[in-house]
Amino acid sequence: MKFSEIVENLSADLGRVEDAIQENFHSDVVLIPDVSGHLSNSGGKRIRPLLMLLSSRACGYEGPRSITHSVVVEFIHTATLLHDDVVDGAEVRRGSESANTKWGNEASVLVGDFLFARSFSIMAEDGNSEILKTMSDACTLLSEGEVLQLVNMYNIRVTEGQYLDVIYRKTAALIAASCRVGALLGESSPSIVNALDQFGAQVGYAFQLVDDALDYMGDVERTGKEVGKDLREGNITMPLLRVCSSATPEEFERINKIVIQSDEIAPDDFSFVMELMGKYKSIPYTLDRARSYVEAAKSALSALPDSTHVDSLRAIADYVVERDY
């Protein structure tokens, strides 16, 4: 099953999610819907709402609360992107002018705060304390992941284990929470809830690792980002970590100098890093790691009874490593 087919099959529900997103953007402060909508309407994949909808249906729930909580998870995700772009000084997001470039850092941060607040207001109205705790814990981990990433900037001595911890907190935790909430909506057994949580976490690891690889090999028109953006921002990700763990002392030292002055990387220095990535096969290594997480994700689904919804979850896991943007 192709990703486009899954989206088509869920088009009615996804349409309801979009309507609910727009409705919950509403504020008497005009800037809030303008900034929120600029990013939310710019072509995101809606992976998290998709996973929540499919997880809830795989657990027998087809009511409106899955729409409500899909809005919550998308608002939290959008808030983190608004904050991320300020921290990174990003000028482009999804191929368009970033919100902080268009409206300024202050507006981006404050509208991100609004989306976090609106998310928790929606959950409070729903009244399920277990769902509220799940999303609260995910937001805590996400915030810790952002801070850890900041601490690790420009540090090529970070280990793979330390980096994977950042990935779990920054990316995987919210995807895991999306799947877990779907299971909670279906009032599933603890074993099913945990299985879907594990599925989401493994998909989250794979998703971020593929993003890491695409940063060095993606088509700018498809990804909406210039090649090597992470390197230029001093953000140390798996492809570069693989190079650093394999490099000779001389290569390692030159990489360190390049990363330290990464905001002004000379073309020959960038070419040097890219040549080392080819030499040490760091992109294939990163993608192989992503595939191993996808296989672990699909294995976690064995706890659920077979259904078209579970098949769709498996297909989304495969899509995560097959995508080119």
How many structural domains is the chain composed of? Answer: 1
Per-residue pLDDT at 289 = 98
Quick: pLDDT tens for 248-274.
Answer: 999 999 999 999 886 688 999 999 999
Specify if 309 maps to a domain: no
Specify if 78 maps to a domain: yes
pTM for this predicted structure:
0.94
Given a cut of 50, the residues of the chain with pLDDT beneath it are: none
Specify if 134 maps to a domain: yes
Per-residue pLDDT at 1 = 86
Specify if 130 maps to a domain: yes
Specify if 241 maps to a domain: yes
The residue range of the domain holding 164 is 3-304+315-322
> Residue 109 in 3-state DSSP?
helix
Per-residue pLDDT at 93 = 66
Quick: pLDDT tens for 32-60.
Answer: 888 887 777 766 789 999 999 999 999 99
Specify if 98 maps to a domain: yes
- Beta-bridged to residue 274, according to DSSP, are none
Per-residue pLDDT at 146 = 93
Q: The domain spanning residue 230 has which CATH number?
A: 1.10.600.10
- Beta-bridged to residue 97, according to DSSP, are 92
Per-residue pLDDT at 226 = 78
Per-residue pLDDT at 94 = 61
Specify if 71 maps to a domain: yes
CB 68 within 8 A of CB 25: no
Per-residue pLDDT at 103 = 84
Question: How is residue 235 written in tokens?
Answer: 């953000």
Question: How is residue 131 written in tokens?
Answer: 């769902």
**Burial label, 51 (beta-carbon count in 10 A; 0-12, 13-18, 19+):** buried
Per-residue pLDDT at 34 = 84
Q: How far is CA 117 from CA 25, 32, 177, 258, in A?
A: 12, 12, 18, 40
CB-side neighbour CA atoms (13 Å) of 318:
11
Amino acid symbol at 100 = N
Specify if 310 maps to a domain: no
Question: How is residue 228 written in tokens?
Answer: 């090597």
